[in-house]
């Protein structure tokens, strides 16, 4: 179990595979850099960025899934810790942001789909929803995607959402390019969920 969570009553968590751009996204949203390892899987503890006055925290959870040079037992432990963290704090989480790589996510999901296997991204999306945590899929690196609508529709299908993808914005699907500074769709999603939770005092963080 991760320790040292700030005692805050409202939280947004960021989850996703390694190398999908979560730290870059956090920097865009907060204006602060977050330490990352030189290779995937080095970060094993959450990065918190909190505002005491508003009783609110952004939490970037460690990346999961395949990581070069990281053994399977360690990968599974990280995933278990992420799941337990979300489960333990679900009542405080206003949104769970699943960050995926728009260019590779379909291939990754299809590669790990089988009779005895559920892809991590799909599993985590449904896990958030089962906990009644509003799930937002931040589809990152969309600047590298040519077939935007086709790709987003395919992602919706694999998540069990009916296309077209546009009917799921802003509350569930948010196409972004964090490295380009284009995170407006995610901010709109978070504004939607903050308002739904009667936390309009937090809207200033996602203008």
Highest mean pLDDT among 41-45, 74-78, 117-121, 183-187: 183-187
The CATH number for 103's domain is 3.40.50.300
Answer yes or no: is 37 within a domain: yes
In 3-state terms, what secondary structure has residue 137? strand
Answer yes or no: is 28 within a domain: yes
Answer yes or no: is 178 within a domain: yes
Q: Is residue 65 scored above 90 in pLDDT?
A: no
pLDDT of amino acid 161 = 97
Q: Write out pLDDT tens, residues 161-204.
A: 999 999 999 999 999 999 999 999 999 999 999 999 999 999 99
Q: Write out pLDDT tens, residues 130-165.
A: 999 999 999 999 999 999 999 999 999 999 999 999
Its domain, for residue 61, covers 10-198
Average pLDDT, the chain: 89
Give the whole-angstrom CA distance, residue 43 versus residue 47.
9
Q: Write out pLDDT tens, residues 102-134.
A: 999 999 999 988 777 888 899 999 999 999 999
pLDDT of amino acid 3 = 66
Which DSSP string corresponds to 39-98?
STT---S-EEEEETTTTEEEEEPPPBS--TT--HHHHHHHHHHHHHHHHHHGGGEEEEEE
Percent over 90 (pLDDT), the chain:
67
Give the whole-angstrom CA distance, residue 153 versus residue 102.
11
Answer yes or no: is 1 within a domain: no
pLDDT of amino acid 159 = 97
Higher pLDDT, 98 or 37: 98
**Confidence (pTM):** 0.92
Answer yes or no: is 163 within a domain: yes
Q: Is residue 63 scored above 50 in pLDDT?
A: yes
In the DSSP assignment, the letter for residue 100 is E
* Axis crossing angle, helix 148-159 with helix 120-130, rounded to the nearest 10: 60
- 103 neighbors 144 (Cβ within 8 angstroms): yes
Answer yes or no: is 180 within a domain: yes
If 0-12 CB within 10 Å is exposed, 13-18 middle and 19+ buried, where does residue 157 land?
middle
Give the whole-angstrom CA distance, residue 141 versus residue 31.
19
pLDDT of amino acid 112 = 84
- Range of weakest confidence among 3-7, 79-83, 90-94, 151-155: 3-7
φ, ψ at 77 (rounded to 5°): -65, -40
Answer yes or no: is 23 within a domain: yes
Answer yes or no: is 154 within a domain: yes
Based on the structure, what is the number of domains in the chain? 1
pLDDT of amino acid 137 = 98
């Amino acid at each position: 179990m991760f320790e040292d969570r700030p005692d805050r009553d409202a939280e947004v968590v960021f989850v996703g595979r390694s190398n999908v751009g979560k730290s870059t996204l956090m920097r865009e949203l907060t204006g602060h850099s977050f330490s990352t390892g030189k290779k995937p899987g080095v970060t094993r503890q959450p990065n918190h960025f909190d505002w005491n006055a508003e009783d609110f925290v952004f939490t970037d959870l460690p990346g999961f899934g395949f990581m070069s040079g990281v053994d399977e037992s360690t990968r599974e432990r990280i995933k278990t810790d992420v799941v337990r963290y979300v489960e333990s704090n679900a009542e405080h989480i206003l949104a769970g942001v699943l960050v995926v790589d728009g260019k590779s996510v379909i291939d990754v999901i299809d590669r790990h789909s089988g009779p005895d296997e559920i892809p991590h991204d799909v599993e985590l999306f449904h896990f958030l929803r089962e906990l009644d945590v509003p799930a937002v899929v931040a589809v990152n690196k969309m600047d590298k995607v040519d077939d935007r609508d086709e790709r987003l529709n395919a992602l919706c299908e694999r998540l069990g959402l009916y296309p077209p993808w546009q009917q799921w914005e802003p509350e569930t699907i948010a196409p972004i390019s964090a490295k380009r500074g284009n995170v407006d769709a995610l901010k709109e999603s978070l504004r939607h969920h903050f308002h739904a939770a009667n936390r309009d005092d937090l809207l200033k963080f996602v203008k």
